[in-house]
Amino acid sequence: MQPSAPGTPAVRYEERLTAPPVWWALSLLAGISGGLVTLPLGVLPMLGGAVGAAVLTAVVVSSYGSARIRVVTGALVVADARIPLSALGEPEVLDAEETLAWRSYKADPRAFMLLRSYIPTAVRIEITDPADPTPYVYLSTRDPQGLADALRAA
């Protein structure tokens, strides 16, 4: 990890929740489908349909997989949200069974959740700020212990 420049917050933990490789294969399949659909119009429209469908699908998969989780000095940054560490309680590491429970029947609709169904583990962090109606933060993560340790250290 590179040292941070003066005036920028130090990053203690960083993770990018990328889409699984199988989802990228969807871009190839969409390209084939786009080519087949436009085949009756000629060779150039077929190539345009194939490339257009593949690129469009790749953009959608990439944007879905662009969510980042970072622990920086004084804050937990999740996608576009910035949560001060002073508002967070003790992080709870969830195994696969508890992860499924907290994203289904135990879930609170007021919670801040970054869900990725293809990631089997998560971290749940209580919100301790009495002025905030959000009860907890639920984050899908491939390294729940690392995230919890970074939050405790920060």
pTM: predicted TM-score of the whole model, two decimal places: 0.78
Q: Evaluate whether 109 touches 149 at the Cβ level (below 8 Å).
A: no
Question: Is 109 found in the same domain as 138?
Answer: yes
Chain segment 88-138, per-residue pLDDT in tens: 999 999 999 999 999 899 999 999 999 988 899 999 999 998 888 999 999
Domain containing 39 equals 19-64
Question: Is 100 found in the same domain as 32?
Answer: no
Q: Chain centroid to CA 153: how far?
A: 22
Question: Is 79 found in the same domain as 147?
Answer: yes
Question: Is 54 found in the same domain as 122?
Answer: no
Question: Is 79 found in the same domain as 55?
Answer: no
Chain segment 40-78, per-residue pLDDT in tens: 999 999 999 999 999 999 999 988 877 899 999 889 999
Q: Sheet containing 136-140: give its strands across.
A: 88-94, 122-127, 136-140, 112-114
